[in-house]
Structures are given as C-alpha cells and as structure tokens.
C-alpha cells in the first residue's frame, strides 16, 4: 500500500491504537500522535519520484518484521533526497504495536 501511495490508508489499517514509533529524531506514542507526524511528513513532500521496498524479512517467534526501504523524493522548497531506512515492526493481533526506524540522520 505504501509503494502505491496509500501511506495513510496503510497506517490506518495496520497500526494499533497504542503504537509506539521510534527513530533517531525522537519517539511518538499513540495512533493519533503518530498519524499526525506522518501527515506532517507527507505535507513536507513536493514529489515522490520512487519508493522501493528492497527487502522484507520476519522473525515469527518474536512477531517482528524487518522492512528495508529506499525513497527518492523532493521536499517542498526543492531539496531532492534519496532516503534509505530499515523499519523493525512488532506485530500483535494483525497490527503494528511498535516500530523503530534505523537510518543515518546526517
């Protein structure tokens, strides 16, 4: 869904109400706060040129999914960047309850 431009639809469907999201720039708790952060990110983007899921793996014993993503995008103001990250998701009852992003924050 994310690769098809349906980031918020994917978020609404797959994230639990008690979601915790962590990344080098900080931590957010609760679906409303995490969704608002995603909305702000999308509003800062002028254009997505490419979004590629490079790899997915899982650890079924620990209910974890690992997703490697590359995004090529232009932010409003003209700054074009290629971002690469790994998201480690913990799932419970078919929803993500914890997600941590790993990337070089520069």
Phi first, then psi: give them for residue 66, nearest 5 degrees.
Answer: -115, 125
DSSP secondary structure letter of residue 18: E
Q: Per the domain annotation, does 54 fall within a domain?
A: yes
Contact 68, 59 (CB under 8 A): no
What's the domain count of the chain? 1
Q: Per the domain annotation, does 1 fall within a domain?
A: no
Provide the pLDDT for residue 4: 73
Q: Per the domain annotation, does 2 fall within a domain?
A: no
Q: What is the mean pLDDT of residues 23-32?
A: 95
The C-alpha atoms of residue 69 and residue 71 are separated, in whole angstroms, by 7
Provide the pLDDT for residue 5: 73
Whether the predicted model's global pTM rises above the 0.85 cut: yes
Residue 62 maps to which CATH number? Answer: 3.10.450.50
The C-alpha atoms of residue 72 and residue 82 are separated, in whole angstroms, by 4
User: Residue 65: which domain range?
Assistant: 7-102
Q: What is the mean pLDDT of residues 35-60?
A: 94
Phi first, then psi: give them for residue 93, nearest 5 degrees.
Answer: 55, 45
- Does pLDDT of 106 surpass 70? no
């Amino acid at each position: 869904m994310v690769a098809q431009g349906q980031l918020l639809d994917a978020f609404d469907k797959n994230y639990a109400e008690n979601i915790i999201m962590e990344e080098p720039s900080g931590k957010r708790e609760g679906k409303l706060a995490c969704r608002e952060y995603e909305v702000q990110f999308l509003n800062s983007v002028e254009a997505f040129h490419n979004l590629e899921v490079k790899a997915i793996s899982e650890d079924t014993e620990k209910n974890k999914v690992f997703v490697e993503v590359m995004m090529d995008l232009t932010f409003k103001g003209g700054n074009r960047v290629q971002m690469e990250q790994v998201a480690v998701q913990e799932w419970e009852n078919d929803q993500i309850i914890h997600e941590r992003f790993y990337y070089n924050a520069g």
